[in-house]
Amino acid sequence: MKYSINSMNLQELLQKIKNELKLRNYSPRTIESYLACLTEYFKYIKNIKREPEIAKIKEYLLEKQNRKQSSQTINLHLQAIKYFYREVMRSVSIIDIKFAKTASKLPVVLSRNEIERMIDSIKNPKHRLLIAFSYGAGLRVSEAINLKFKDIDLEELTLHIKGAKGNKDRISMISEKIRSDLRELMALKNANDFVFESNRGGKLDERSAQKVFENALKKAGIKKEATFHSLRHSFATHLLENGVDVRYVQELLGHANIRTTQIYTKVTNPMLKKIKSPLE
């Protein structure tokens, strides 16, 4: 079986791939990423065969490396290609190409004082609650904007996060400090309403949430290269500093592998913090 990009409608093929991904319950973000990767790959190879041409795939990935694209980007393209041949083309061939080695970078963590300064710098009550809530529950930006009032239990101070990364549900905590703010907000809303609505109605979009974070970071005078996700990094790090067992932190973050959670032990090692510089 062989398809030529010229003779076959590329959009039809991409729609078929999209349908397969949806049937397997992949997240909208993953579907979008895979389709973008495969569109680029198809245009590069021009002719699509049922069985993968390993040399051509390697050539494609090496070209990306030569263009200084990140290891994460190269790995994403490789994952998308493997998925296409395995699940869509039903190829039995094994694409024995190893993932690109990713750089071992420590997460950017904000101190408790920096988090407090950020929250205090925000005048808009809804925006202030967004940052405080996301930090206090360890939320990803996508989880924060998709949050509905029915997911909140103010009596138990718990939060039911639904369909998170990997389409997994999990339970997290709500800070006592924001209980009264949430109660006031909930009194005016329906259970199915989004907690963080946009001014036009409907949920706040990711870019707007990130902009709230960026503005607060700037107003607080913090120079770290932090992103909205740094709130989640800070949540995990501060829990470990408080003596919470790493396995409980893993559960609160929804990590499938504890090794993902253990990265935070590298930025919160109390023994390292006790060591004084010889310059002292």
> Which residues participate in catalysis according to the annotation?
140, 165, 229, 232, 255, 264
Please state, as a whole number, how many other Cβ atoms lie within 10 Å of the Cβ of residue 21: 21
The tokens describing 100, both together, are 């690109």
Q: Are the C-beta atoms of residues 99 and 191 closer than 8 Å to each other?
A: no
Tell me which H or E stretch contains 244.
none
CB crowding 205-237: b at 16 or more within 10 Å, else e: ebebbeebbeebbeebebeeebebbbbbbbbbb
72 vs 139: CA distance, rounded Å: 22
**Of 52, 60, 97, which Cα lies nearest the Cα of 79?**
97
